[in-house]
Structure 1
Amino acid sequence: MPRFSYRAVDSAGDIISGEMEVADRRALVQHLRKQGYMPLQAEPREGGARKGARKTKTRGRRGGDGRMDGEALVLFTRELATLLGAGLPLDRALSTIAQQTQTDAGASVAQGLLDRVRGGASLADALSERGEIFPNYYVGLVRAGEAGGSLNGVLEDLADTLERQRALAHEVRAALNYPILVLIAAGISIVILLVGVIPEFEPLFEDAGAALPFTAKAVLAVSQGFREYWWTLPVGALVVFVIAQRMRRSDAMRARLDDLALRLPVFGQVVRKSEAARFCRTLGTLLANGVDVVPALDMGIETVGNARMSRDLAAVSPQLRRGQGLAGPLEATGVFPALAVQLMQVGETSGQLSKMLMTVAGIYDEEVRRDTRKMVSLLVPVVTLVLGAVVATIIGAILSAILSTYDLPL
C-alpha cells in the first residue's frame, strides 16, 4: 500500500505528524478522525514509513520579514481554519501556528497577528496591516466571517479559492514548459553551430572571397560577430529587463500591453477567461459569506490583474450604487460571454447569485485548461518549424559555401 505523511491536530490543540500505510488519502483522513484528530495535511511519501504519530517540535519566535508566497498563504489559511474548526479560540490557534507550523514565514506572520489580537485588535484589522500578504478581499471575507460568527467556514472557503487559483496557474505554467524547453534547446543548438561548428569551416572559405553565396557570407558574419561581441547579449538582456520593469510601473504602458494581450489569438482568450474565473470566484465567495454586493465587487476587481479588464469592470460599480442589477452592467462591459451573463441573471432572479458565480468560475477554469492545451498544440509546431528553419538555413549556407568553394555542382 502507498505511504502517506500527515499532519493533524489532537484534542489538546497540538499539531502532530507521522506516516502511515493506507489505501488512499481518504482512508487516512477517516482513520485520523476516528482517532480524534483533525487532519491538516495528507500527502503521498516515498521511502520508509514511521509508525504512529509524534508531536511537531515547538519552535521559538522567528525573525525575518515574514513574507509568504502563495503556497504558504494557502497553508496558513487552511491550518487556521482547521484549528478554529477543532474548537480552539483564535489566540490559541494563532499561537499553535506560530510555534508549530512548518514554514518560517507562516510562523512569523502568525506571531505578528497573535500580538495584535492579544492587544485587542480583530483578526481582520490585524490582517489589514499586512496588506502585502493579505489582499483586501481576504480581509473583507475575514471581517464578514467575524461579524457572522462563521470565521472557520470563511477561512475554509478562502483556502479552497486560493488553492483553485494556484492549481489553475500551475497547470497553465506546466503546459507552457514544453514549448519553452524546445525554444531553449533550439537556441543552444544555434549557439553551438555559430560558435563551435562554423569556425571550423572558416579556413576553407578564406580564399573564396566574393565567390561565396550571400547566405554563407551572412552566416559567417553572424558567427564572427557573435564570437567577438557576445557580451552584447547579456548587456542587451539587462537593458530589456530594465525597460520592461519601468514599463510595468507605468500605468499607461501597462494598460497598452494588457490590451494587446487580450487581442492576441488564443492567448488573449486564455488571459480573459483566467481573469474572469478569478473575479467570479472571488465575488461569489464574498457574496456567499455575507459581504454586500458593491464592496464585494470592488474587492473582486482588485484580484483582476489585467488593467483593461479591471477598468471595464470598475465601470459597473457606479451602476450598482444607482440600484441596477449586476448581470446587465457586466454584460455591457463585454468581459463575459452571453452564457455567463445568463447564468448571473438566473442567479439574481433566484437569489442564488453567489452559487451561479461559482458555476461561471468553474466553467471558465475548464475553458482555460482547454484553451491552454490548444495554444500549446499550436505553439509547439510553430516554434519547432521556425527554429528548424533557422538551423536548416545555417547548415544549408555552409553546405552551399563548401560546394561553391570546390566548384561542385548542386
Structure 2
Amino acid sequence: MQYEVRTLSAVNAITIVTIDAIDEQDARRQAESRALQPISVRPIVLKTASVSLRQRRFSLLLFSQEMLALIKAGLSLFEAIEALREKESASEVCDILDRLLAALREGRRFSVALAEQGGYFPPLYVGLMQAAEGTSDLPLSLARFVEYQKRIDGIRGKIVSASIYPIILMTVGGAVTVFLVCYVVPRFALVYQDTGRDLPWLSQMMIMWGQLAAKHASEFATVVVASAALSAIWVRRLLRKGGVVHLASRLPMVGHQIHLYELSRLYTTLGMLLEGGIPATNALMTACATVSAATRDRLLAAEQQIRSGRPLSLAFEVNGLTTTISLRMLRVGEQSGQLGAMLTQAAEFYDGDISRFIERFTRTFEPILMAAIGLIVGFIVVLLYMPIFDLAGSLQ
C-alpha cells in the first residue's frame, strides 16, 4: 500500500514523499532509512479510476530514454525536461513535467521533485536519481534504469506472448463446443425423432443437454456471461493481492520458475541500486516494493539480519532468497567488492533459465491443448453420428 509521508530532510526542508509499505510503521522506517525524519504518515486512497488510468498513460521508460538522449546531447537537466514539455501534447504528461520544472525553478533537487509525484515515479526510480545526484552522473543512472526496465519488460512480455495463443485456442474451442451443443445437436435430435430408433445412451444424454440448452438459450447465455464476469473479477482481485502468484507457485515446475522470476527481479533491482552507490540496507528497503508479499517478508527479515552484521549472502541463504548457484555468486561478489555486478549476473542467469522454460512449456502445452480441444469436438461429432452409423449397419 502507498503512504504519503511528510518528512524533514537533513537541510531542514519539509518534503512529501510517497512510499510503498506494509503499514505506517514500515513507511516511517523506510523514510528514516533515507535520512528523512517523518512528521506525518497517511495512506493514499485513489478516489477515481481515472487517476490510475492517467498514471498508466505516463511511460516512465519512454521518459527516461528521452531524458538520457537529450542529456547525452549536451542539454542540462532543466533544458531536457523543458524540451520534453514543449513536444508533449497529452495533458496529464504536461502536468507532470510542469510540476517537475516548477520544483527545479524553486531550487529543489531532482530526486525531491520526483518523490513529490510518487504515483508516477516509484521509490526505486527516486532512489536511483538520488544516488546519481551524489555521484553527479545522471546519464549513467538513467541508462541503468532503462536497461533494468527493458529486462523486466522483456521477461513479462515473453510470459504474456506465451499465454496469448493458448487463450485464443481455449476461446475458439469453447465457442465451437457451445455452437455444436446449442445449435447443431438440437437439429440432429429432430431428425432422430422421426426415425423411431433407439439411440445409444451417450447420444441420448448429449441430445437431452442440447435440447435443454436450446430451450433455455437466454438463461444459458446469461449464466455464461455472468460466470465469465465473476471469474474476471475474481482473477483481478487475486492479481491485486498476489493470489495468482501464490496459487501458481504451488504447481509443480511452474512454482520453481515463479520463484526464479521473483529472485531475478529482486537481484536486478538490488544490483542496479548497489551499482548506483545506494547503501545495501536502503537498497533492500527500496526493493521491497518490487516483489510479492511473501518475498517481501523474507526480504525484510534478511534486512534486519544484515543490519545486525550478517553478510548479505548468509542472510539471503537463511531466508530462502538464493539458489545453489546464486549463493556462490553472491559470496564471490562480497569477497571481490563487486556485489552489485554479481547480483546483476545472477539475475541474467535466472532470466535465461526462465526464457528456456517458457519456450519449452509453450512447445509442449500448445499441442496438448490443441489435442484436448480436438478430442472434445470430435467426441461430440462422433456421438451425433453414432445413430447414423447404426442405421447404415442395419441397412447393410
1:365 aligns with 2:351: yes
Q: 2:227 aligns with which of 229, 236, 251?
A: 236
User: Closer, same or farther in 2 for the Cα pair 1:79/1:396, shift >3 Å?
Assistant: same
3-state SS of 2:360 partner:
helix
Task: Compute the displacement of 1:313 (Å).
Answer: 2.4
Between the two proteins, the alignment pairs up a number of residues equal to 342
Contact between 2:263 and 2:321, CA under 8 Å: does it hold in 1?
yes
Q: 1:310 aligns with which of 272, 296, 306?
A: 296
1:125 aligns with 2:123: no
**1:8-407 to 2 correspondences below 5 Å:** 67-69=54-56, 72-101=59-88, 106-206=93-193, 211-227=198-214, 228=217, 229-248=220-239, 254=242, 257-304=244-291, 306-403=292-389
User: Closer, same or farther in 2 for the Cα pair 1:334/1:324, shift >3 Å?
Assistant: same
Identity, % of aligned positions:
27
TM-score (structure 1 length as normaliser): 0.76
| One-letter identity of the residue aligned with 1:91 | F
Task: Compute the displacement of 1:111 (Å).
Answer: 2.4
Task: Compute the displacement of 1:238 (Å).
Answer: 1.5
Deviations 1:180-212 (A, max 9, x none): 232223223223322332232120233678933
**Which residue does the alignment assign to 1:36?**
none
User: Closer, same or farther in 2 for the Cα pair 1:371/1:246, shift >3 Å?
Assistant: closer
Contact between 1:141 and 1:154, CA under 8 Å: does it hold in 2?
yes
* RMSD value, Cα: 2.7
User: Closer, same or farther in 2 for the Cα pair 1:100/1:387, shift >3 Å?
Assistant: same
Task: Compute the displacement of 1:396 (Å).
Answer: 1.6
Taking the aligned partners of 1:409 and 1:143, their CA distance within structure 2 comes to 87
More helix by share: 2
Give the gaps of 5 or more residues in structure 1. 1-63
Task: Compute the displacement of 1:344 (Å).
Answer: 0.6
3-state SS of 2:54 partner:
coil
| One-letter identity of the residue aligned with 2:340 | S
Task: Compute the displacement of 1:318 (Å).
Answer: 0.7
Task: Compute the displacement of 1:331 (Å).
Answer: 1.5
User: Closer, same or farther in 2 for the Cα pair 1:391/1:144, shift >3 Å?
Assistant: same
Taking the aligned partners of 2:395 and 2:326, their CA distance within structure 1 comes to 65
Give the gaps of 5 or more residues in structure 2. 1-49
Taking the aligned partners of 2:333 and 2:62, their CA distance within structure 1 comes to 32
Deviations 1:215-257 (A, max 9, x none): 22332233334442222111111222333344455x5xx45x4
User: Closer, same or farther in 2 for the Cα pair 1:275/1:226, shift >3 Å?
Assistant: farther
Taking the aligned partners of 2:135 and 2:307, their CA distance within structure 1 comes to 24
Contact between 1:267 and 1:375, CA under 8 Å: does it hold in 2?
no
3-state SS of 1:315 partner:
helix
Task: Compute the displacement of 1:351 (Å).
Answer: 0.1
User: Closer, same or farther in 2 for the Cα pair 1:327/1:235, shift >3 Å?
Assistant: same
